[in-house]
Amino acid sequence: MLLTGAEILIKSLLDEGVETIFGYPGGAVLNIYDELYKYKDKINHILTCHEQGASHAADGYARATGKVGVCLATSGPGATNLVTGIATAYMDSIPMVAITGNVAQPLLGKDSFQEVDITGITMPITKHNYIVRDVNELQNIIKEAFYIAQEGRPGPVLIDIPKDITADKTQYNKIIPKEVVRKSEYITEKSLQEAVDLINQSKRPLIYAGGGIGIAEATEELLIFAEKINSPVSTSLMCMAEFPNNHELYTGMIGMHGTKASNIAATKCDLLITLGARFSDRVISNQNHIKNAKVLQIDVDPAEINKNVKVDTCIVGDLKVALSQLIPLINVKRNEEWINTINSLKENKKVKSDCGLTPELFFDKLNKLNDGSFIISTEVGQHQMWTAQYFNFRNERTFITSGGLGTMGYGLGAAIGAQVGKPDKRVINIAGDGSFGMNCNELVTAVKNRLPLIQVIMNNNCLGMVRQWQDFFYEGRYSQTTLDRPTDYVKLAEAFGAKAFRITEVDEIDYILRKALDSEGPVLIDYLINSDKKVFPMVAPGAPINQIISEEDINNN
C-alpha cells in the first residue's frame, strides 16, 4: 500500500499506541496536520498556546502515565521553542518523542525561511535524534525512536522531517513495535554478592532513593527491600512520591532543603545504599560528610557509577530486576539502635494557624482533603520545595516537577499533560507568581479542553528562591527579584475563561479549596503570602549537608 510520509507517520504513531499528541501547526508540518485531521477520531491532538507548553505537556503526560509523551512542532522557531522542554525531559530521564518539521531538502542549508538545524541544536539534550532523508526510512526511524526513548535509562528522542518527505510516497507495512526489555545483562552473581556482603555487615544503613525508582516502576521492591533490612529511607526530589511519606522508615527529602533526619543520617550511616540517583550537587554538596560510609550504588546507567561519588561496589542494571534478585539474598535486619537514633532526629512540628497565610498551613489543609487521587505538579522555586516538604505523597507517579534542569514555567504545561493522561485524577499545579508569569498562557489550553486542574499561585510578589539567596549571601541586595507587578491574577484567569479565587484570610482556605475541587473545569487560586517567607531547613552551597540552617538559627543570628 503506497502512502505519503505524513500518512506513514500517523499510522506508525498508532502502531506505537499513541493516543495523544501535544503540538502547534505551521507550514512545514501542514501535511502532517492534514492527516491528523483525518485521524482525529483515533489521535487526540491538544493545541497548546506555545510549543514550549506542548513539550512540557508531553513530559507531564509521560511522567503521569509511564507512556511515551509525544509533541509536534513546525520548523524554525517552532522547533527551537521545544528545546527547553526537551532539555527538561533529558535531565530527568523522561521518555518523549519530539517531532519537528523542516523545510524541503533542496532548501536545507540555504538559510531558508524558518529553517534551523534542530538536530544539531538538540544533539546534547536527546538520547538520539534523526533527520529523515528518505521516506523509505521513515517508518523504521519512528519505531527505533520510540524504542530508544524507553529502553534502559529513558529520555527524549527527536525526529526532524523535511516537508518533501511528508509528501513523498512509499510502501507501508505494519511493523510490530520492538519489545522493551529491562536491562539485566550486567547484573552478575559477583556484583550481587558484593552488595549482599555490604548490606549484611552494615549496622547503620541508609537508603538514598532517586528518580530511577519511579522510572523502573520499582516502588514495591523499594518498600520490601527497606522493610527487610529495616533501613531508613531518604529520597531525592524526584522520588518523593515513590515511597509512602507516612511510613515509619521514611526520613524525608535529602539535600539542600532536606530534613534534619535525612541529612544527619547521611553523615552517620556506615552504608549509603543509592538507588537510581545520580548524587546531584543539590543532594551531595560537600562529599566529605560521607567519607566514613561505604557506598553501594545501583543504577541502569553505567555512566552514573563513580561519576560524582566514588563507590565501594555497584550493580548495573534495571532497578526492579536488581532489587528483585537482591532481596531474597539479604538477611533480615533490625538495626534497633540505629532506628532509635534516626527517630530521635525526626521533627514533628505542629502547623500553626495563628501565623497567617503560610505554605505549611495551605498544604496541611490540602493533605486533609486528599483522598489519594491528587497529582501534584510544580513550577520551580520556593513553592517547589514547600510542596516537597509539606505535601504527604501516598501514591507513585503523583509528583511531577522539574528536578535536573529546574525549569521555571514547566508546571502548568506538565499539569495539562498529566490531566489529559490521567482524567480520573485531580491535578494541582503549585506555582510562584514568578514562574506562573512565564507560561500562564497555557491556562487557555486547560480552559479550552475543560481540564479540571487547579492552578495555585503562592503569591509573594517576588522571585522567592533567588531573593532568599540574595538575603543570605548578598547582604539583602534584592536586585530585580521584587516583582511589583500590577497583575490581578483572578481577573486574568477569568479573562482566560477559568474560575478564580483569592485567599487573603486563614478561614477562607477550606471553603475555597472545596469550591475548587468541586469545579468541573480549571480553577486558579491566588494565595497571598509574605515576601520574607523562606524555605527552611537549608544547607549553604558547598557546605556539608549536616550543617543545616534553620529558621531559629536565622532568628537568633
For the annotated catalytic residues, the residue numbers are 51, 113-114, 163, 465
Contact indicator for 417, 59 with CB cutoff of 8 Å: yes
Q: How many CB atoms lie under 10 A from the CB of residue 448?
A: 15
Cell of 235: 529520597
What is the rounded CA–CA span in Å between residue 323 and residue 310? 21
Helix 319-326 crosses helix 189-201 at what angle (to 10 degrees)?
60
The Cα-based distances of 144 to 157, 158, 177, 178, 547 in angstroms read 10, 11, 9, 8, 48
DSSP reduced 3-state for 69: strand
Looking at residue 462, the DSSP 8-state letter turns out to be B
Looking at residue 333, the DSSP 8-state letter turns out to be -
Pairing of the two strands 454-459 and 499-503: unpaired
Q: Is 58 exposed, middle or buried (0-12, 13-18, 19+ CB in 10 A)?
A: buried
Closest alpha carbon to 235 in 217, 215, 212: 212
What is the rounded CA–CA span in Å between residue 219 and residue 20? 27
What is the rounded CA–CA span in Å between residue 290 and residue 477? 35
Half-sphere exposure of 437 (CA within 13 A, CB side): 14
Pairing of the two strands 20-23 and 426-432: unpaired
